Amino acid sequence: YFPDELITAAACERLEKRVRMAVEPMLDDFLRHGWDQAVGSSGTIKAIARVLAENGQGSRITHAGMHWLREQMARLGSVRALTQLKGLKADRAAVFPGGFIILFALFESLRLQEMRFSEGALREGAIYDLLGRIHQEDTREMSIRSLQERFHSQVQRNQGIAQWAEHFFKTAAVSWPLHGGHQQWLHWAALTHDIGLDIAHSGFHKHGEYVWRNADIAGFSRREQGVVAALVRAQRKRLPGLAQLRALGIAAEDVVALQQLAILLRLAILFHRGATPLTAPPGLTVSGKKLVLALPPKWLTEMPLMAADLEQEQEWITPDFCLQW
């Protein structure tokens, strides 16, 4: 935006317009919601705050101060000349104009009057998040509840599915190399497997996958979102093979465990389909790719629809797994 390191009015306007276009789709939501204070962090905002403070423009970044600094940049006219600004370090000058105009455009779009500078940035945010997890205040659990509320999940039913999935997991983990991280993936998928229904009943597992893969879900890494998305996708129809899971973006070291978790999730969901008389999860024996369910006596005559579901599941997971009862 600043060829030959020249700071022109036209260049500033082009960049400002680009920023405003990026903000426009979410602008109404931000303005309607409002806020108590605006806080900025990291290098360029720190540099802006220092320049304003050292040039008598106050200890905080203000709307008036931003306009003053824009006038000074236009007067100086080049990146090299910016070093004349009191408080601006020479190694910051090259990126200062772009960062300043981005923040200026945000001030104008969001109608900000004042912004405080915070020394904390991404590193500190990551540390606080980890501390929250240690003290049982996991951001991810709050995000799960938010997803359930936003997409009208059947929370109580899903809690039951998650409990049964955990029961199956503990049994399977004796034979399969599964660990606590895998258990979390299964738990999150069980609690949110039905969020796609709020979009459309047809192909709801694909809609749920899309939400998990593409939404900004606080606290989750891209890897975590990807594996939960794949689990939600794999909850129904034919079980994806290892190659298909790789095609969904799952890392090679995760595909085997993910396929195993998908089986456990599918079984937990199956036993919560309809009005099942089962009051506790059935026993499960796992040996390699063979799974054997221990169902109560007379279950076949008392639960004919479940028998049909199990037969269908048996077909859908073949040839990767063998399900018996």
Which is more confidently placed, 294 or 133?
A: 294
Q: How confident is the model at residue 321 (pLDDT cuts 50, 70, 90)?
A: very high
Residue 217 in tokens: 């879900």
Contact indicator for 19, 108 with CB cutoff of 8 Å = no
Strands 39-41 and 114-118: parallel
Give the model's pLDDT for residue 303: 79
Residue 164 in tokens: 């049964």
Percentage of the chain beyond pLDDT 90 is 72
How far is residue 322 from each of residues 82, 227, 239, 297, measured CA to CA in Å? 70, 23, 12, 22
Q: Residue 128 pLDDT more than 70?
A: no
Give the model's pLDDT for residue 228: 98
List the single range of 18-32, 75-89, 129-143, 239-253 with lowest mean pLDDT: 129-143
Give the model's pLDDT for residue 235: 97
Contact indicator for 15, 1 with CB cutoff of 8 Å = yes
- For residues 126-130, give the mean pLDDT: 70
Which is more confidently placed, 303 or 296?
A: 296
Q: How confident is the model at residue 54 (pLDDT cuts 50, 70, 90)?
A: very high
Which pTM was predicted? Answer: 0.63
In the chain, domain spans: 3-120, 138-280
Q: Residue 275 pLDDT more than 70?
A: no
How far is residue 214 from each of residues 40, 66, 182, 206, 226, measured CA to CA in Å? 26, 35, 21, 12, 9
DSSP single-letter state for residue 78:
B
Q: Residue 5 pLDDT more than 80?
A: yes
CATH 3.30.9.10 fits 3-120, yes or no: no
Q: Which residues of 161-177 are buried (b: 16+ CB within 10 A; e: fewer)?
A: bbebbbbbbebbbeebe
Quick one: 3 exposed, middle or buried, by C-beta within 10 A (0-12, 13-18, 19+)?
Answer: exposed
Residue 266 in tokens: 């599918």
- For residues 171-182, give the mean pLDDT: 95
Q: Residue 112 pLDDT more than 90?
A: yes
Three-state secondary-structure class, residue 180: helix
Q: Residue 306 pLDDT more than 90?
A: no
Q: Which fold has domain 138-280?
A: Hypothetical protein af1432 (1.10.3210)
